[in-house]
Amino acid sequence: MAYNKADLVSKVAEKSNLTKAQSEAAINAFQDVLIESLKNGEGLKLTGVFAAERVKRAERTGRNPRTGETINIPARYGVKLSAGSLLKKAVSE
């Protein structure tokens, strides 16, 4: 089962004895910190769970799927996520 944000808020509230409003505020704050750190070119590491870092993708050529024409894809930034040891262990069991 995949969790959407509302499901995550409910689960966090249940596990932490916080209200749903408090849980949603905490999740929103975490989301804001993650986005802000990536925008600033920093990474975020939640030890054992995951690491997120901003990576620059080089300019490259691609192909328009409709016409087959070669196109230029400009350089841009992306996000690289890496699973931590706790996460890897949890999914391997």
Q: What is the pLDDT of residues 19-30, one digit of tens each?
A: 999 999 999 999
Contacting residues for 43 by C-beta, under 8 A, at least 6 apart: 37, 51, 52, 53, 54
pTM here is 0.74
Cα gap 38→45, rounded to integer Å: 11
| Architecture (CATH level 2) of domain 43-93 | Irregular (4.10)
Cα gap 88→65, rounded to integer Å: 36
pLDDT tens-digit series, residues 23-50: 999 999 999 999 999 999 899 999 989 9
> Structural domain boundaries of the chain?
1-40, 43-93
Greatest Cα pair distance in the chain: 57
